[in-house]
Amino acid sequence: MKTFRKILLGEEFNRATASIIAILIGLLVGFLVLLISNSAEALAGFKIILSGGFSTGAKGMGQVLYFATPLILTGLSVGFAFKTGLFNIGTPGQFIIGAFAAVYIGVTCTFLPAPLHWIAALLAATIAGGLWALIPGILKAYLNVHEVISSIMMNYIGMYLANYLTKSTIYDIRKAQSLNVADSAVLPKGGLDYIFYNDLGGVKDLSTVNSGIWIAIVVAILIYFIINKTTFGYELKACGFNQNASNYAGINAKRSIVLSMVIAGMLAGLGGGLLYLSGASGRHLKVVDMLAVEGFNGIPVALLGLSNPIGIIFSAFIIAYITQGGNYLQTLNFAPEVIDIIIACIIYFSAFALYFRKLLPFLIKKGRGDRQ
Amino acid sequence: MGMEYIIEMLNITKSFPGIIANDAITLQLRKGEIHALLGENGAGKSTLMSVLFGLYQPENGVITKAGKEVSINNPNDANNLGIGMVHQHFKLIQNFTVLQNIILGVETTKNGFLKMDEARTKVMALSDQYGLKVDPDTLIEDITVGMQQRVEILKMLYRDNEILIFDEPTAVLTPQEIEELMKIMKELAGEGKSILFITHKLNEIKSTADRCTVLRKGKYIGTVDVQTTSKETMSEMMVGRKIQFTIDKNPSIPNASHFEVRSLTVSSKRSAKKAVNNVSFTVKKGEILCIAGIDGNGQSELVYALTGLGPIESGQIFLNGKEITKMSVRDRNVLGMSHIPEDRHKDGLILDYTLAENLILKKYFTPEFQDHGFIKFNATHTYADRLITEFDIRSSQGSKTMARSMSGGNQQKAILAREINNDPEILIAVQPTRGLDVGAIEYIHKQLVEQRNSGKAVLLVSLELDEVMNVSDRILVLFEGEIVADLMPAETTVQELGLYMAGSKRKEVVL
């Protein structure tokens, strides 16, 4: 019993449990919305959400991974910035500019051979995202302009710029979306085509998922090491916690702020590249006046993963899974807007994870006190 | 029997993970007395007061008021029982006026509108009655720390509190302000208020308090009558061993000039006057040079300029004959400049880093602690453990303790350990004993003298007259950014020093 309580009060357990409880509460709220909007089909709808990607077999699970890929990157972007004391709300802008850069290279630079082509496109996405965050970083470090304000501004500039550039350079007017990237720019399947497909009478109905998910996981592990094991991460975190003390220790705090922002932007930009370099069946740039959802969803992913890169991998999976399940609600009689509301409720209530993390040890202790 | 006490805390026990902060502690406060609560940092004083103020719930023990048992679950309960507290770090809203701060939470209103006139009359009456001079319409950010404290006291009086808790009230005050506060406290007690006075400064207890309760390491040691108990006895009760109030040290044998400042001028952010004006001095090897002065006379700006943290307007700085005026903070550190900063929370520590991470704050980039950009955690913890033993840094979880959860004295020891272990050519110590108890002060003074004995140059910036007189080999007095006196401690008195510090005396300084 004693060791059991020790585990219960342990830091790691507390973290994971808090996130899980938060998701459960998010689901509960989602269920309430289902009940209110269409009580007759609420239970059936809830089942569909819970079965998530599994509703449509192996391909569906592949799709979950495909949509989790950009979320891991934008989640890392937000989480990394959190760890270094910054709130990067500029992920939608960085993400879409990265996506445009990748697609542009993917469509135009056809002279590049296969591995080089998609690598170049991803590099372009990463650099573009980084540049997009450089501006808020410099404004924050040297002029003390809050990064939230400048990042939001950059979001809109990024969205309209990506729209304009897409329309004027790589636009397919017939389909009202960006042109397909060259085959050499499509990310390889990385062995995933052997797992995530549905068998349609001997024909493989492949999921869109590709090696992007592997890249996302590797990047998450890389970020974990940078934050926790390197002097570079030590400096960035120090500046996030206490800029004065960092200056006192001889760390260039201004440079650290700019670098933190740029790295966060690079991560979001890479996320854009990974999502859009996925061939004809994958995502295409659409010219719409809407900030990229994948960008903003990085915030709940980071919160739910408590800014821990490994936690972020899992929280991105969960959020992609629920979003995917939510999309299948269309088979029932739910208005598309309601589906969005339900998904948003689940995701954002889950983001209260941080709150539960504080509450949990308190509740356990209180329970113990009552028994005595 | 119990009726003679206005507040009794009996057998209070409160523990935190890994530590019993209060172990069956009893504290009895008589009506109209000033009762000092004495103990080292981490002795459990603040915890006990937080229990009384309703911030913590004790696991055991009872609190009674005028003989009746009461339960205090939050600061509102405490307030309803007439208990008020001036916290060490003031709880004031910077961009509110004095009056707005005083009435905050107990505003008088009519139909939902504030009625400030009534409040103003009451505040001014209290201000007159107790000699607590304040300007009700000034913003908090524009007034001195001493005046902010008066606002805190007025807040308690405005709420008609009878039991007033002062948590280390003198830590932030100048000598003159301390004297003023002592007078006010006596007046309050004379008017029938009961005062609990948390401190570790024996002089203040001796001059103000009636009785004194001593805590050590979470345990109750005893309650004594201040008049009949000597300072030595009280300090022995507090620390558990005899304390030396003066420092044994041999005369300094200054060596070659080592750290030199030439015509340093720093412009002020607030006024056209220079914060530091044409200051020149040298610190020799094997010497403790002290910069004395009242707070706000340019000490911070001077130190920031010397350490590279702040800008300079003109002048030069040399270490070991090498000009460092334009060097970065990192380069200065590597060259042998160590700095114990004035504000350990703002500059000295990263509170959300562990003790070990803080101990390598100025060394993490050296080959000793990093390899190809990766931090060597084993080396870090071995190093931290060594410093923890060597400097007797106490914490609940050793090198893995968060700096935030450590007591002030141990935080300061950690900074001291880090800075001394950098093997400095010049050690700049700014108010190194601020807010510390006698045991820790004694320890830090010894370390400074040891550094000097081993041939290091030490620049001590201090506001404490005792410290200035006891520790230094030579004293420079800074007044309004200029050096107004160059004195030897043996040839001067505290009174004379005070006159220089207040600017009413001035000596042509030949350097």
The 3-state DSSP class for residue B43 equals coil
Q: Which of B339, B361, B366 is the best mutation test for A, with the most CBs of A within 10 A?
A: B361
- On whether residue A121 sits in a domain, the answer given is yes
pLDDT at B489 over 50: yes
Distance of CA B159 to the CA centre of its chain: 28
Q: Which of A238, A250, A252 sits opposite B350 (nearest CB)?
A: A238
SS (H, E, C) B300-345: HHHHHHHHCCCCCCEEEEEECCEECCCCCHHHHHHHCEEEECCCHH
Is the Cβ pair A232, B373 closer than 8 Å? yes
Mark residue A219 as left, alpha or beta (left: phi above 0; alpha: psi -120 to 50; beta: remaining). alpha
Q: Shortest Cα distance from A239 to chain B (angstroms)? A: 9
- On whether residue A41 sits in a domain, the answer given is no
Arithmetic mean of pLDDT, B135-151: 85
Considering chain B, what is the average pLDDT of its residues?
Answer: 87
Is the Cβ pair B348, A250 closer than 8 Å? no
Most confident of A73-87, B100-114, B250-264: A73-87
The answer to whether residue A372 neighbours chain B at the CB level (below 8 Å) is: no
Q: Which residues, 6+ apart, have CB-to-CB distance to B176 below 8 Å?
A: none
* Chain B residues touching A85 at Cβ < 8 A: none
Is the Cβ pair A250, B350 closer than 8 Å? no
Q: Which residues, 6+ apart, have CB-to-CB distance to B166 below 8 Å?
A: B85, B86, B185, B195, B196, B197, B198
**What is the tens place of the pLDDT at every residue in B408-422?**
888 999 999 999 988
Indicate the pairing of strand A171-172 with strand A177-178: antiparallel
**For chain A, how many structural domains are there in total?**
1
CB B198 within 8 A of CB B166: yes
**What is the tens place of the pLDDT at every residue in B66-111?**
889 999 998 889 989 999 998 877 888 888 999 999 988 888 888 8
Query: Helix (H) and strand (E) counts for chain A?
Result: 16, 4
d(CA A248, CA A268): 32
Looking at per-residue pLDDT, the higher value among A235 and B251 belongs to A235
Closest to B10 (Cα-Cα) out of B21, B23, B26: B26
Distance of CA B510 to the CA centre of its chain: 33
Is the Cβ pair B365, A231 closer than 8 Å? yes
Give the pLDDT confidence score for residue A279 in this predicted structure: 86
Q: Which of B333, B349, B377 sits opposite A250 (nearest CB)?
A: B333
Q: How far is CA B6 from CA B55, B64, B223, in A?
A: 20, 8, 16
pLDDT at A12 over 70: no
With DSSP H G I counted as helix, E B as strand and the rest as coil, what are the percentages for chain A, rounded to 5?
75, 5, 20
Looking at per-residue pLDDT, the higher value among B356 and B494 belongs to B356
Give the pLDDT confidence score for residue A26 in this predicted structure: 81
Please give the residue of chain A at the shortest CA–CA distance from B340: A248
Please give the residue of chain A at the shortest CA–CA distance from B374: A230
The answer to whether residue A110 neighbours chain B at the CB level (below 8 Å) is: no
Q: Which of A82, A225, A239, A248 is the best mutation test for B, with the most CBs of B within 10 A?
A: A248
Q: Which of A230, A234, A250 sits opposite B362 (nearest CB)?
A: A250
**What is the tens place of the pLDDT at every residue in B315-337?**
999 998 889 999 999 999 999 99
pLDDT at B168 over 50: yes
Is the Cβ pair A245, B349 closer than 8 Å? yes
Is the Cβ pair A241, B352 closer than 8 Å? yes
Is the Cβ pair B309, A230 closer than 8 Å? no
Is the Cβ pair A246, B373 closer than 8 Å? no
Percent with pLDDT over 70 in chain B: 94
**What is the tens place of the pLDDT at every residue in A246-305?**
999 999 999 999 999 999 999 999 999 999 999 888 889 998 889 998 999 999 899 888
Q: Shortest Cα distance from B406 to chain A (angstroms)? A: 17
pLDDT at B456 over 70: yes
* Chain B residues touching A237 at Cβ < 8 A: 353
pLDDT at B382 over 90: yes
pLDDT at B247 over 70: no
**What is the tens place of the pLDDT at every residue in A136-189?**
999 999 999 999 999 999 999 999 999 999 999 999 999 989 999 999 999 998
Looking at per-residue pLDDT, the higher value among B3 and A315 belongs to A315
Give the pLDDT confidence score for residue A310 in this predicted structure: 93
CB B263 within 8 A of CB B279: yes
Listed by number, the residues of chain A in 250-289 with a beta carbon closer than 8 Å to a beta carbon of chain B are 250-252
- On whether residue A354 sits in a domain, the answer given is no
d(CA A61, CA A48): 14
Give the pLDDT confidence score for residue A72 in this predicted structure: 97
* Chain A residues touching B418 at Cβ < 8 A: none
pLDDT at A372 over 90: no
Q: Which of B328, B341, B349 sits opposite A250 (nearest CB)?
A: B328
**What is the tens place of the pLDDT at every residue in A275-284?**
999 988 888 9
Give the pLDDT confidence score for residue A369 in this predicted structure: 46
Is the Cβ pair B328, A246 closer than 8 Å? no
- What backbone torsions phi and psi does residue B114 show, to the nearest 5 degrees? -65, 140
Please give the residue of chain A at the shortest CA–CA distance from B307: A248
Domain, as residue range, for A187: 57-298
Is the Cβ pair B361, A247 closer than 8 Å? no
**What is the tens place of the pLDDT at every residue in A202-243?**
788 888 899 999 999 999 999 999 999 999 999 999 999 999
CB A140 within 8 A of CB A151: no
Give the pLDDT confidence score for residue A44 in this predicted structure: 87
* Chain A residues touching B15 at Cβ < 8 A: none
Is the Cβ pair B375, A231 closer than 8 Å? yes
Please give the residue of chain B at the shortest CA–CA distance from A248: B347
CB B289 within 8 A of CB B281: yes
* Chain A residues touching B350 at Cβ < 8 A: 238, 241-242, 245-246
Q: Shortest Cα distance from A231 to chain B (angstroms)? A: 5
Is the Cβ pair B361, A245 closer than 8 Å? yes
**Burial zone of A9 (CB within 10 Å; 0-12 exposed, 13-18 middle, 19+ buried):** middle
Torsion of CA B183, B185, B189, B190, to 10 degrees: 20
Interface residues of B toward A, Cβ cutoff 8 Å, are 307, 309, 328-333, 339, 341, 346-353, 357, 361-362, 364-365, 370, 373-375, 377
* Chain B residues touching A249 at Cβ < 8 A: 329, 333, 361-362
Q: Which of A232, A244, A249 sits opposite B362 (nearest CB)?
A: A249
Q: Shortest Cα distance from B469 to chain A (angstroms)? A: 29
- On whether residue A308 sits in a domain, the answer given is no
* Chain B residues touching A229 at Cβ < 8 A: 374-375, 377
**What is the tens place of the pLDDT at every residue in A223-233?**
999 999 999 99
Is the Cβ pair B375, A234 closer than 8 Å? yes
Give the pLDDT confidence score for residue A371 in this predicted structure: 41
Q: Which residues, 6+ apart, have CB-to-CB distance to A3 below 8 Å?
A: none
- On whether residue A130 sits in a domain, the answer given is yes
The answer to whether residue A202 neighbours chain B at the CB level (below 8 Å) is: no
Please give the residue of chain B at the shortest CA–CA distance from A85: B352
Q: Which of A230, A241, A252 sits opposite B350 (nearest CB)?
A: A241
Q: Which of B307, B347, B353 sits opposite A241 (nearest CB)?
A: B353
Give the pLDDT confidence score for residue A365 in this predicted structure: 60
pLDDT at B462 over 80: yes
Q: Which of B304, B350, B364 is the best mutation test for A, with the most CBs of A within 10 A?
A: B350
Give the pLDDT confidence score for residue A125 in this predicted structure: 97
**What is the tens place of the pLDDT at every residue in B174-186?**
677 788 889 989 9
Distance of CA B62 to the CA centre of its chain: 32
The answer to whether residue A245 neighbours chain B at the CB level (below 8 Å) is: yes
Task: Quickly state the pLDDT bin for B253 (edges 50, 70, 90).
Answer: low
d(CA B368, CA B380): 9
H helix runs in B170-328, sequence order = 175-190, 202-208, 231-239, 299-307
- Stated as kind and residue range, the H or E segment containing B369 is none
For B14, the token pair is 């409160």
Is the Cβ pair A248, B341 closer than 8 Å? yes
Task: Quickly state the pLDDT bin for B511 (edges 50, 70, 90).
Answer: very low
Q: Is the dihedral of CA B327, B329, B334, B335 positive or negative?
A: positive
Q: Shortest Cα distance from B114 to chain A (angstroms)? A: 34
Give the pLDDT confidence score for residue A25 in this predicted structure: 82
Poorest-pLDDT segment among A329-338, B245-254, B449-458: B245-254
Looking at per-residue pLDDT, the higher value among A357 and B232 belongs to B232
Give the pLDDT confidence score for residue B1 in this predicted structure: 41
d(CA A94, CA B386): 46
Q: Shortest Cα distance from A75 to chain B (angstroms)? A: 23
- On whether residue A135 sits in a domain, the answer given is yes
Q: Which residues, 6+ apart, have CB-to-CB distance to B149 below 8 Å?
A: B86, B90, B169, B172, B173, B177, B181
Which residues make up the CATH 3.40.50.300 domain(s) of chain B? 2-239, 254-336+426-511
The 3-state DSSP class for residue B389 equals helix
Report the top-level CATH class of B254-336+426-511: alpha beta
CB A234 within 8 A of CB B358: no
Q: Which residues, 6+ apart, have CB-to-CB distance to A80 below 8 Å?
A: A88, A223, A227, A260, A263, A264, A267, A307, A309
pLDDT at B384 over 50: yes
Is the Cβ pair A246, B350 closer than 8 Å? yes
Considering chain A, what is the average pLDDT of its residues?
Answer: 88
- On whether residue A82 sits in a domain, the answer given is yes
Give the pLDDT confidence score for residue A357 in this predicted structure: 65
Report the top-level CATH class of B2-239: alpha beta
Q: Which residues, 6+ apart, have CB-to-CB distance to B154 below 8 Å?
A: B102, B123, B126, B127, B132, B134
- On whether residue A70 sits in a domain, the answer given is yes
d(CA A243, CA A254): 9
Cβ contacts from A onto B, under 8 A = 61
Task: Quickly state the pLDDT bin for A312 (edges 50, 70, 90).
Answer: very high
**Burial zone of B196 (CB within 10 Å; 0-12 exposed, 13-18 middle, 19+ buried):** buried
* Chain A residues touching B353 at Cβ < 8 A: 237-238, 241
Q: Shortest Cα distance from A252 to chain B (angstroms)? A: 9
